[in-house]
Amino acid sequence: MSFHATVLTLYPEMFPGPLNLSLAGRARTAGVWSLDTVQIRDFAHDRHRSVDDTPAGGGAGMVMRPDVLARAVDAAAPEDDPRPRILMSPRGKPLNQARIRALANGPGAIILCGRFEGVDQRVIETRALEEISIGDYILSGGEPAALVLLDAVVRLLPGVMGNETSGMEESFESGLLEHPHYTRPQTFEGLEIPDVLTSGNHRRIAEWRLAEAEKLTRERRPDLWSAYRKQKGQT
């Protein structure tokens, strides 16, 4: 069974965009995953086909209407559709590799991209939308966030990455940032590849990589470091 994404957006021409190239593009052609878009405006029924209106209580900007969004969600995803319904939202739960992996193991995702000031609260509640954020900054719309989420999911789908194991050793999979990488030439601007990496001693290489990963994580990401220490029972 392949992964099926449905993206609800006012800008369907942004998709598949970068996901049509490289690994993700080849995987889509091969049928590993599929994507369709729903133009939210098609569900606006008034004369001006408006999808937004002024915020109740006043203030700047516009808010996406719940009736229009609800119709779009219902058309894209009948009640028995098992796929999670996601709203890209800066107020959402921060996206991480664990959520990405869970999505990649599932049937797909229905992804709603906000615009303007965001969406009416009632559609989030009645359609049980899971709010997901890609970081503590504000985009002008949910589309780039949806592309980020899908890129991260698609590379985990079976057969997409040539080397299946490389996915398991990456940053965050072990709770650590990844160790540094080197490749040829042996000397670059006076800097050598660390001896251990060319020693052929696989046990020492693994130890070196773990030590480097731990050092980097401790220095750069105290949050990940303390979670990692807890997980290993060393608080």
Instruction: Provide the binding-site residues for ligand SAH, judged by CB under 6 A.
Output: 88-91, 113-115, 117-118, 133-135, 137-139, 141-142, 145
202's tokens: 């696989």
| Residue 88 or 176 having the CB closest to ligand SAH | 88
Q: Which residue is nearest to ligand SAH (CB)?
A: 114
State the minimum distance, in angstroms, from the CB of residue 221 to ligand SAH.
19
| Residue 136 or 195 having the CB closest to ligand SAH | 136
| Residue 111 or 154 having the CB closest to ligand SAH | 111
| Residue 51 or 134 having the CB closest to ligand SAH | 134
**Helices 222-231, 202-220: crossing angle, 10 deg rounding:** 130
State the minimum distance, in angstroms, from the CB of residue 61 to ligand SAH.
7
Query: CA distances (Å), 190 to each of 37, 112, 186, 193, 197, in order?
Result: 51, 50, 10, 10, 17
110 within 8 A of 81, measured Cβ to Cβ: yes
The answer for 77, left when phi > 0, alpha when psi is -120 to 50, beta otherwise, is beta
State the minimum distance, in angstroms, from the CB of residue 15 to ligand SAH.
15
Nearest to 40 by CA among 69, 82, 3, 6: 69
State the minimum distance, in angstroms, from the CB of residue 43 to ligand SAH.
17
